[in-house]
Structure 1
Amino acid sequence: MEDDELIEFSSPESKVQRRGPIRTCTPLISNKSDPARAPEKTYDNTQIQGFKKLTEVYELLLSEGEPGNFKEAVGKKEWDKAMNEEIASIEKNKTWTLVDLPNGHRPIGLKWVFKIKKDAKGKITRHKARLVAKGYIQQHGVDYDEVFAPVARLETVRLVLALSAHKGWLVHHLDVKTAFLHGELSEEAFVKQPEGFEKKGQEEKVYKLTKALYGLKQAPRAWNTKLDGVLKGYGFKRCQLEQAVYTKRTSHDITIIVIYVDDLLVTGSSQQQISQFKRQMEQTFEMSDLGLLTYYLGLEVSQGNSGIKITQQSYAKKILRMTGLEDCNSTKIPMEPGLKLGKNDEEEEVDATDYRRTVGCLRYLTHTRPDLMYAVGYVSRYMQSPKATHHQAAKHILRYIKGTTDLGIHYLREGKGKLVGFSDSSYSVDMDDGKGTTGVVFYFNERPVTWLSQKQSTVALSSCEAEYMAATAAACQAIWLKGLIADITDEKEKPVVIKIDNKSAIALVKNPVFHGRS
């Protein structure tokens, strides 16, 4: 048989050769059961279960859905209750007063936003209705000035969890209800009356805000300023290297607070001090004491005698469901060894929106998965115009996640509590611009707390220079980490060891003289 006769394609669009001839098979509907020819043989003799009205079907379909606007939510018991609670909270907090609109001002519109809150297992915990201002019509210098408010970085959260595990402390979780409503405004702002809650006979009037609402551009800043003043009044001190961390020290005990908008993580050496802090906060704000930390910003936290474990198992499964790969075959590595990708591949383009959504979800998954950092960072470079090869690389990462959904980090209770860093770099591996990739990871008590993998900003002229650039990035991170640890624990700064695998870079660090290639 000749070679041309051996080459067969499994389908007209297939590019895979030598699969053998197409196998003939019976159609899904044979001639005997064709509805056009034998209707009596396609009859389903299952008994009719009854009928439902179309409105009842819609209610069943939307029972666990989130309404898109006020009209879809009104009339449903759980959402009516949530909206009434939101209005009651606003009025209890004395957020606004009903006035006539002054000349020269325009009111800001309001809208309802509905959200179903779920725990890590997907169980519904509460129905939440939020009244949000349409802050996009605000003008800088007229309606607002400063808008920025600091939040804790996830590197800081992991470091505090590692410190707590090492010290044997328990981490508690507090949530401030309607947090932004407590922020006091310094500017004049007017909003329209909320839909469904207009005052009868006074529909033309507006509300003048004395405190912030969600959606206002200055609301995060106002809330952070209010919380900062309250915590300092309780004797807490703000860390210099992390603006969202507060500490309070007594003669024997220490209490640490990490802030992410309205979520507070509280830990320390004394449970009595933590309980006292909770009582103080409940007297000032309307609080939700969520007990020991179990779920935070998508991180599943487990606290035990051996330490603290963090994973993103539910989030990983959610990504697989979103991409339709929850039943795919798993792989053992996140990326093929020696894979080379480029922006000018001649492959066909794929849907850029789906690709960006997938890569964005993968990037958030790297907060507990340093093993994914390089592969996800590599495919992130091609979000402008993704091709089929880029999509295949992202799909390979998803197949690796399929077999490793339960992986995470276990911060141990025992150990020396030492901070050690590692840096590495590739040299001229990017096919488009010849830049290298910096890789840095820091371990606290033999467990990773911070890591990065990113393309270098300049083209290195030698492997020594590329490694030296990576070591510089590691040194900057080490200075911040050791200072933060000393600030939180009130201990002296300890030297940090950074391990590099390039002798030339080590020699250059020890003897920092000028070289033409460095």
Structure 2
Amino acid sequence: DAQGQHRHDDEEAGPSGSGSSHQKSLFCNTYAFSEEADQDELNDDDVVVDEARPRKRKKIDYIITRLLLLKPANCALLVQLPANKNLIGCKWIFKIKRHSDGSIARHKARLVAKGFSQEPGLDYGETFSPVVKPTTVRLVLALAAHFNWHLRQLDVKNAFLHGILHEEVYMSQPPGFEDPSHPYLVCKLLKSLYGLKQAPRAWNDRFTQFLPSLGFENTYSDSSLFVKHVGHEIVVLLLYVDDIIITGSASGAITQVISALTTEFDIKDLGLLHYFLGIQITKTATGLFLSQTKYVADLLVKFEMFDAKPCDTPCLPYNRLLKEDGILIPILRALQYLTFTRPDIAYSVHQVCQFMQNPMVSHFTAVKRDLQLKAFSDADWAEDPNDKRSTTGLVVFLGNNPISWSSKKQQTVSRSSTEAEYRALSFTSAELDWIKQLLAFLYIPLPRVPILFCDNLSAIALSFNPVQHQKTKHIEIDVHFVRERVSLKQLSV
């Protein structure tokens, strides 16, 4: 979910603890708590909690005493648990927030609801919460580099607490902060809390419903991309859970937007964009350089490969992986996120991820290894030894900037290399069409129609002419999407 995608820049630093028993109750009538606080007093080695070490416990007690700042926010009420209602628990989580270089930014403590015990239809309904697509992020960064826009980054503190709950959710009192006068009462939550299944959606609804009051419009192409037009100027906002990128040509309007958001929400202005979702963004003389150095280093340490021998290529040529029984390798999921900035490993990661259910050591070995819109499409015909399906590969450039790439197995067996390449052309043209919609929403004109490159003459001819013969007459209608775009002169192949 959105919470899981967003945890990569936080390092969990220890198990839960409990606070002092003499601490004032969390919930006083309609008063509420701030469920997250900074802990500047701690050193790095003070974070891990051990019940057998009183000195450490005393420091954690001090943290939690500072943690809960009572304020009139109408976050929860102490009530008796109604009959036939579900009661969920909660726990303390201690984390370390780090800078892009790995140094400690601050220590954090968070009260998390045990949402895994929620029951669908009883205390939660819809849970889906959109996040901005990687291609959209790279597209906006490419535009910012091209037009020399300033990139600002914002972070929403206690973001989920801004979300309004529409379901009845009851939670036990936080460990160590039970009300001594009413120990048998429970918390009726009025605002979303980290850990609740509907918390990301509640926060997203709250934030996206506020943005139109500032003049922002949303696009169906990406529901986490918002645009505000100020005369001939533009302001662009990207949302990924509680991380925000804001840029555009109207610097004065950007300042006003940040001020308005700070008034409505508890927002921290992080200044110019340097580190976003584990991605380092470095401004150079020629543009922006994206890297995931810390993320890669953390992966190598986690999987005990920091001293491994490096390879020159992402995978071995002509190395065909077979379906075999084996053990699950967690590194596969981590590598999928690394493709955000590494198109060169997209194919090898795609190949190995086909065996997520039963990977082998051989699969693990394979893993180690002007604003013109143009794209390159390719396919390998029947190279998979398991099902003989072909694989589509594509990369899309905006000017000289790669903004979208993919390696994906086709859904059906192709009878010829022409059919495999033609299916790849159709898949790539659909991606180009979506990117054109994003650019149109951003009022970015294209000087000419996008160009799609292919290395199969028969597939190119098929995209121009409605010819049919024995090996292509069975191709589904939707695959001819590329031919329609060419006939409308919206695409050049």
Same fold (TM over 0.5): yes
Amino acid at match of 1:390: H
Write out aligned runs for 1:35-54 (5 A): none
Unaligned 5+ segments in structure 2 are: 1-41, 473-493
- Aligned-residue CA RMSD (Å): 2.5
Write the distance in 1 (CA, Å) between the matches of 2:430 and 2:93: 42
Q: Percent identity?
A: 39
Write out aligned runs for 1:167-316 (5 A): 167-316=147-296
Distance verdict in 2 for CA 1:431–1:111, change over 3 Å = same
Amino acid at match of 2:186: V
In the alignment, which residue of structure 2 is the partner of 1:407? Answer: none
Q: How many residues align?
A: 431
Write the distance in 1 (CA, Å) between the matches of 2:115 and 2:54: 23
SS at match of 2:246: strand
Indicate yes or no: 2:430 matched with 1:476: yes
Distance verdict in 2 for CA 1:394–1:265, change over 3 Å = same
In the alignment, which residue of structure 2 is the partner of 1:327? Answer: 307
SS at match of 1:187: strand
SS at match of 1:378: helix
CA contact (8 A) 1:323 1:358 kept: yes
Deviations 1:29-65 (A, max 9, x none): xxxxxxxxxxxxxxxxxxxxxxxxxxxxxxx998255
Deviations 1:381-422 (A, max 9, x none): 233333333233233x1xxxxxxxxxxxxxxxxxx0111011
In the alignment, which residue of structure 1 is the partner of 2:140? Answer: 160
In the alignment, which residue of structure 1 is the partner of 2:359? Answer: 386
SS at match of 2:108: strand
Deviations 1:250-297 (A, max 9, x none): 113211100001111000112221111111111111111111111111
SS at match of 1:424: strand
In the TM superposition, what is the alpha-carbon distance from 1:491 to its structure 2 partner?
Answer: 4.2
Write the distance in 2 (CA, Å) between the matches of 1:115 and 1:295: 18
- Which one of the candidate residues 422, 430, 444 is aligned to 2:376? 422
Write the distance in 1 (CA, Å) between the matches of 2:362 and 2:144: 43
Distance verdict in 2 for CA 1:73–1:306, change over 3 Å = farther
Distance verdict in 2 for CA 1:114–1:515, change over 3 Å = farther
Distance verdict in 2 for CA 1:188–1:324, change over 3 Å = closer
Write the distance in 1 (CA, Å) between the matches of 2:128 and 2:67: 25
Indicate yes or no: 2:93 matched with 1:139: no
In the alignment, which residue of structure 2 is the partner of 1:361? Answer: 334
In the TM superposition, what is the alpha-carbon distance from 1:493 to its structure 2 partner?
Answer: 9.3
Indicate yes or no: 2:457 matched with 1:503: yes
Indicate yes or no: 2:104 matched with 1:124: yes
In the alignment, which residue of structure 1 is the partner of 2:401? Answer: 447
Unaligned 5+ segments in structure 1 are: 1-59, 398-415
CA contact (8 A) 1:93 1:181 kept: no
In the alignment, which residue of structure 2 is the partner of 1:12? Answer: none
Write the distance in 2 (CA, Å) between the matches of 1:268 and 1:85: 39
Which structure's CA Rg is the greater one?
1
In the alignment, which residue of structure 1 is the partner of 2:410? Answer: 456
In the TM superposition, what is the alpha-carbon distance from 1:71 to its structure 2 partner?
Answer: 10
In the alignment, which residue of structure 2 is the partner of 1:100? Answer: 80
CA contact (8 A) 2:132 2:223 kept: yes
In the TM superposition, what is the alpha-carbon distance from 1:312 to its structure 2 partner?
Answer: 0.9
In the TM superposition, what is the alpha-carbon distance from 1:512 to its structure 2 partner?
Answer: 2.9
In the TM superposition, what is the alpha-carbon distance from 1:93 to its structure 2 partner?
Answer: 2.8
Amino acid at match of 2:104: I
Write the distance in 2 (CA, Å) between the matches of 1:71 and 1:147: 40
Write the distance in 2 (CA, Å) between the matches of 1:515 and 1:92: 73
- With structure 1 as the length reference, what TM-score do the two structures score? 0.78
Distance verdict in 2 for CA 1:368–1:62, change over 3 Å = closer
SS at match of 1:63: helix
- Which one of the candidate residues 69, 72, 75 is aligned to 1:88? 69
